[in-house]
A and B are shown apart, each in its own frame.
Chain A
Amino acid sequence: MPPRVGVVTFPGSLDDRDVQRAVTAVGGEPVPLWHGAACLDGVDAVVLPGGFSYGDHLRCGAIARFSPVMAAVIEAAREGMPVLGICNGFQVLCESHLLPGALLRNAGLHYVCRDQRLRVDNATTAWTSAYDDRAEIVIPIKHGEGRYVADTATLERLEGDGRVVVRYVATGAAGRGSGNPNGSLRDIAGICNEQGNVVGLMPHPEHAVDPLVGASADGTGFFASVLAVLVAAR
């Protein structure tokens, strides 16, 4: 039986079915999880997808963090279950204190949708082990509030522990400055928790699985990584 990957749908989740499709593409079984159910249906891993949960009311992710399903996700994450938060999912993970820091309005004050070059700076997490260390990949970003911030001590700890998972880098020779699309501190696009099972990132790997309808196939590795980890753990 293939590993079962839960994909949470909050009211206002948008990329939930896209994540389900990506999980299927790498041979996993996607399991839709409803925000109102405090149960994870026996899944082996969980993805919190992108979107505008609860319309971004109050603060991105601030209301979703109190959904019944999140109590179960937080508990499972603390016990080591692989959890990936993409875009709004990353915001929910920060609001849930599963990851440190916060995501603020883009420095340019505009929503930005573009194909973004990233560098994988930690290829040992549950979600990035399929990548080569320091691999450069192209994955779309699409967000208005993706500027990662944390206090200096937290940033130093993240850097020291190798918990910066992906970083924005310039595009090729004609790169635009640092390639940082939103003013994130230290060009941070994604981070993980101390154990490496919980990863949050602003870019959307589920939109880089099938090049026909995505930016590339570079995002496949996130889903392939967790499947390999889950199969190996059996």
Chain B
Amino acid sequence: MIARGTGQPTVESLDTVAVAAADPDLVQPYADLGLQPDEYDRIRDVLGRRPTGCELAMYSVMWSEHCSYKSSRVHFRHFADLPRSERLLAGIGENAGVIAVSDELAVTFKVESHNHPSYVEPYQGAATGVGGIVRDILAMGARPVAVMDSLRFGDVDHPDTRRVVGGVVAGIGGYGNCLGLPNIGGEIAFDPSYNGNPLVNALCLGVLPRERLQTSKATGVGNKVILYGARTGRDGIGGVSVLASATFDDDGPARRPAVQVGDPFTEKIVTEASLEMYARGLVIGIQDLGGAGFTCAISETAAAGGQGMHVTLDAVPLREPSMQPWEVLSSESQERMLAIVAPADVDEVLAVCRRWGVLATVVGEVTDTGRLVVDWHGSTVVDVPPGSLADDGPVYHRPLARPAWLDDRQADRAEALPRPAPAELAAEVLKLVAAPNLAGTGWVTDQYDRYVLSNTVLAMPEDAGLVRIGDGPMGVALALDGPARFAALDPYAGAQLAVAEAARNVACSGARPVAVSDCLNFGSPEDPSVMWQFAEAVRGIADACRVLGLPVTGGNVSFYNQTGDKAINPTPVIGVLGVIDDVSRHTPIGFAADGDVVLLLGETREEFGGSEWAWVAHRHLGGLPPAVDLAHELRLHELLVSSAADGLLRSAHDC
């Protein structure tokens, strides 16, 4: 602890490991940090004593829903069962999935949520959402080359929507534009179910030479641990536990100090410094500091390395010298990276950082103790097995229950709604075209740089974004799609429809779909009906991916998206990555030339459940979503991709 006024630590009041052993019965505020009583008991079992204040803070963030996936993990066996792709160089469990696209090059991509921060403080929440996913991609050894985002807001007429939309869009643009990453697409939708909980899902794509793939393993006894990037401040403390892993109260967002503040300029120079270190072969292990900050980075790198780590916490450069050790461990200050470096290379790493104007500090070293030990001004405040933080968090088999209201909702068929008379059709079409979910989104996307890096072949409003990679002619396409309102009618089918749509959007660009990343946005996992929706959606994604031959390479789960007891519509957002051998063969959506023949592929059935028409014309949400025929979907994609490659199509657009 720091004595007020002097700035000097007073050893008497510091809750060290020795103090914890000597004072085993101290009552600790674990519940205030988001831990359950049984979780606290488990920490005591792991350590054989009560945790110190610092250790308690570390377990509370690492065992939070956001970091530990404790409610969702048991459902991911569905993804593990999917057939492995030979292209997959890294998958679930890494910072991001990595897919080989040629003998030399690989690409990495991932989508992640930043929903709660974006509701509390829209600009910074969305900005740091972009920053966080970019660092995940950077940590794989890749140069980030494009971003996308999937946004869901409350009803356009809801009084709070304007605040959230304006801030989120400005934040995404402010951060991504300043980083020099083209924004190549995504989606934006409005629905009252997001009135009290908007969704901001950001995706980043990176490209790397295959041999430059990085890991997060802290290996090699004596190797140094270097923290570089921004100074550590008091922003974002407890972001993953008290903010991301809890429900908003009915009186709305009031946890502003738990939101991080971003600085894209620092992220840009951290990016360039990191890429220079990779190119010079200076990095043994690397990890970004995201959710749970320094705690997550040191425990994950130490656990992955299978050795030990000793950290001198007071070496961490601080914005505020009065910060206490648990605050330094928990802070989610942005634009920081942790690198494991051989002692002989430390000077060169520091020189690279200096050249880019990046602050870099040796904060520890790899040991052979099997323990993660953290000292603060000479006293040991943390001494734990790193795996107990990073890998062995609690796992819950939450109760599931099909919601009682679902039968009534499904029985309320949209096909029974009154249809417009022929004379009313034109007016109805105009109404639809002007609907917020169907109207043009240029008012948003014109605020994003789509040209920087000079590789953008397709961007908004195309079906998919498409960027050239390497020196061409190869390219990578990306689409990011949610399930519209379909998952609210049937989460299994809705999730499948989202996978099908994202893959179809990629195929429409002429690229062959090869991999999936997902961002699963749901209400509270403690509500059995929400948990049932989640389980159904995961099963739906896995079954769809099996038929379409797509591995799920990673992603993110966001629970507790609700205000009070009102959960959002279940919203599995699917990112699909595709590969095209020659970008000059891509197919844009627009009609190309007079006289071209227009073909409709597929069958049109009488299906209105969850449709935009049912909502716009009748504010109706009921019935069943459109039938899913994945075998047909696969044939359609094959037709689109091979016809584009053969030069038979001038343009293509999905319905």
Contacts and interface: CB of A to CB of B under 8 A. Distances in A.
Interface of A: 11-12, 14-15, 17-18, 21, 36, 51-52, 54-57, 110-114, 140, 142, 144, 204, 206-207, 209-210, 212-215
Given A52-B265, A112-B446, A210 B173 contact: no
A214 B265 contact: no
A113 B268 contact: no
Contact of B356 (A11, A18, A213): A11
B177 interface: yes
B454 A206 contact: yes
Interface in B355-379: 355-357
Interface residues of B, number: 31
Contacts of B180: 14-15, 51
Contacts of B178: 12, 52, 55-56
Given A113-B448, A212-B584, A214-B451, A142 B177 contact: yes
Given A110-B447, A111-B177, A142-B177, A210 B265 contact: no
A18 B269 contact: no
B217 interface: no
Contact of B453 (A18, A52, A113, A142): A18
Most chain B CB within 10 A, of A21, A113, A140, A209, is at: A113
Interface string B446-466: 111111111111000000000
Given A52-B178, A111-B177, A113-B446, A214 B454 contact: yes
Nearest to B178: A52
Given A113-B446, A212-B457, A15 B452 contact: yes
* 9 smallest beta-carbon distances between A and B, as pairs: A55-B265, A14-B180, A207-B451, A18-B454, A52-B178, A142-B449, A111-B447, A140-B451, A113-B449
Contacts of A142: 177, 449, 451-452
Per DSSP, chain B at the interface is mixed
Contacts of A14: 179-180, 268, 452
B265 A57 contact: yes
B165 to A, nearest CB: 13
A217 to B, nearest CB: 13
A207 B177 CA distance: 15
Given A55-B264, A57-B265, A215 B451 contact: yes
A55 B356 CA distance: 13
Given A11-B357, A18-B453, A207-B454, 15 more contacts: A11-B356, A17-B454, A21-B454, A36-B355, A51-B180, A55-B264, A55-B265, A111-B173, A111-B448, A111-B449, A112-B446, A113-B447, A113-B449, A144-B177, A204-B451
Contacts of A207: 451-452, 454
Most chain B CB within 10 A, of A56, A210, A212, is at: A212
Given A17-B453, A18-B453, A213-B455, A11 B265 contact: yes
Nearest to A50: B452
B447 A112 contact: yes
B583 interface: yes
7 contacts: A17-B453, A52-B268, A111-B173, A113-B446, A142-B449, A212-B583, A215-B451
Contacts of B357: 11
A21 B35 CA distance: 54
Nearest to A112: B446
A206 B447 CA distance: 19
A52 B269 CA distance: 11
A112 B355 CA distance: 32
B116 interface: no
Contacts of A51: 180
Nearest to A144: B177
Interface in B246-265: 263-265
Most chain B CB within 10 A, of A142, A206, A209, A213, is at: A213
A214 B68 CA distance: 43
A135 B456 CA distance: 26
Contacts of A21: 454
B468 interface: yes
B468 A11 contact: no
Contacts of B457: 212-213
A36 B356 CA distance: 10
Contacts of A111: 173-174, 177, 447-449
A156 B357 CA distance: 42
Contacts of A204: 451
A213 B468 contact: yes
Interface in B542-600: 583-584
Given A12-B265, A113-B449, A114-B446, A210 B454 contact: yes
B569 to A, nearest CB: 30
A18 B174 CA distance: 21
Given A213-B456, A213-B457, A113 B451 contact: yes
Contacts of B449: 111, 113, 142
Contacts of B446: 110, 112-114
Given A113-B450, A212-B583, A214-B451, A12 B268 contact: yes
Contacts of A54: 265
A56 B180 CA distance: 13
Contacts of A110: 170, 446-447
A111 B263 CA distance: 17
B587 to A, nearest CB: 13
B443 to A, nearest CB: 9
B601 to A, nearest CB: 26
Contacts of A212: 457, 468, 583-584
A113 B457 CA distance: 16
B466 to A, nearest CB: 10
